[in-house]
Amino acid sequence: MSYRTALAEVLTRAVAPCAELTGREGRFPRGAVTAFGATGLLGLTVSTEFGGAGLGLPEAAEVVARTARVCPATAAVLRSHYTAVAVIESYGSPWVRGEIAAGRHLSSLALMEDDHAGREMEAHLLMPRCTAVRSGGVVALRARKRRVVAAGEADSYVWSSRPLGAPDGLSLWGVPAHAPDLFVPARPDAVGPPGSATSTVVADPVLVPADVRLGADGGGLDIVLRTVLPWLLELQAAAAGRTGDLAPVGVRPAESLTRS
């Protein structure tokens, strides 16, 4: 079916019935995320080579905008996921891309280390304090990441650190959420829509394989500027309803997720 038809079905069947409870009690919308995965919408922007729909930022923005009208928490989760996937699509492993396309993998961003917003937030994304120390094939990442959406609920985080050996810039890592010594406080941060599980993630340190680095050592700065910020800001605008009039949801079903 088309992604618009799939979205209409998921919003009606899985998101709307639980939206009030999600907002009132702050419960993570796990059922909604599962439904997005089952209909291929988590893999909306993954290449068709790996089983995704092969669509891009405009389609992701539409999904986020329509979801935000029904459940802000679910929209926040999708916003972080689609931005993380934009990085994973270029630098992540084929296995992770396939898992996302199959709807079995939710990713998120772990880039902020201070509570800032606006231009100040953008500046802090480019200057991580997180340290990275390599020993053989293992890297130790030590940091306290803030404003992480789906903290403790995602399957992986796109994580920023200082470079291992480069004199400047930053490095990005695909950190598995099940990695030992990742800690999420029981009380979520007082930011983000209720139910989005926006919280702090602590690594003191977390040990990850060296090959989960996304891009070159020190090359993360360019990735953040060219990919993360454009996607994140566009999807934030979509969630806030600043993307203009959107096309109607109802369209003729097709055999797979398509543009129309």
Query: What does the pLDDT look like over 54-72, one tens digit per residue?
Result: 999 999 999 999 999 999 9
In CATH, what number is assigned to the domain containing residue 219?
2.40.110.10
Burial class (CB in 10 A: 0-12, 13-18, 19+), 194: middle
Question: Per the structure, how many domains does the chain have?
Answer: 1
Which has the closest alpha carbon to 150: 96, 111, 199? 199
CA angle 120, 121, 125 (to 5 degrees): 120
| 244 found inside a domain | no
| pTM reported for the whole predicted model | 0.91
State the residue for tokens 């990005």: 172
| 214 found inside a domain | yes
Residue 258 confidence (pLDDT) above 70: no
- pLDDT, one tens digit per residue, over 141-191 is 999 999 999 999 999 999 999 999 888 899 999 999 999 889 988 766 667
Domain that holds residue 147: 3-239
| 256 found inside a domain | no
| 63 found inside a domain | yes
| 252 found inside a domain | no
Assign 168 to helix, strand or coil. coil
CA 9 vs CA 16, 41, 131, 228, 240: distances in Å: 10, 11, 44, 29, 22
